Amino acid sequence: MLVAIHCFPVPISMKRIHMKDQVKIKEYNLMLQNYIDKRSFVKIFRTVCGKEETLSGFILGMSRNFLFLQLDDEFVLDGYAVIRLDDFDSIRHSSYERTQRKIFAAEGLLADGYGFEKPLPLTNWGDILKTLKSYDIHVIIENISNGELDFWIGPIKRVASKSVSIHNYDPNGTFDENVTLLKMDTISILKFGDRYSTIFRKYLKKRNN
């Protein structure tokens, strides 16, 4: 069940919308849908393994379980991310984000490059991963194991009911000897379509035994 959210003022006329306060879930969903409809630029705050991290960009879609984001990297649209809908602390849409959105529009980035052209079912991790596998998209998965955040990158080899197998590669572009099996309920964030994984995949090599 979704926890509610609340708007409260913070310095420099910024607002964070907190999920832990008492506001109707309907209002929360309408707020997110409004951000989607208006192509609002937002900043999402998350706490992962005790550390705060942020995601900036545009919300492309939402479901009862997930948020689908297009990420920003210094005024460049650089890939996508999927997180669980209940797995973030707050969303900020302040004058800072509105200014960034105006720059995106002025640079023509909202007309060219915005969005994801193929269908992506935001039903469960299995459906999302199967769809990306069918598109031959390499993914980045960050999952939590024994209280630590692990990083995996590579092609999806198999999707089971509760797990996914990734053929991870190292910074040298060499594949691991074996695929890595990850439990879906440990996934913190799924990323894909970024410059790093899209370009690096062209230069991967098999491990020399």
Domains belonging to the chain, first-starting first, are: 6-106 (2.30.30.100), 125-203 (2.30.30.520)
Sheet hosting strand 187-192, strand order edge to edge = 6-10, 14-18, 90-92, 41-48, 51-62, 66-72, 77-84, 187-192, 139-145, 148-154
Q: What was the pLDDT predicted at 103?
A: 96
Q: Write down the pLDDT at residue 10.
A: 26
Give the global pTM.
0.86
Q: What is the pLDDT of residues 161-207, one digit of tens each?
A: 999 999 999 999 999 999 999 999 999 999 999 999 999 999 998 76
Tell me the pLDDT tens digit for each residue of 8-54: 222 233 445 555 554 567 788 899 999 999 999 999 999 999 899 99
- 49, 184, 164, 57: CA torsion to nearest 10: -60
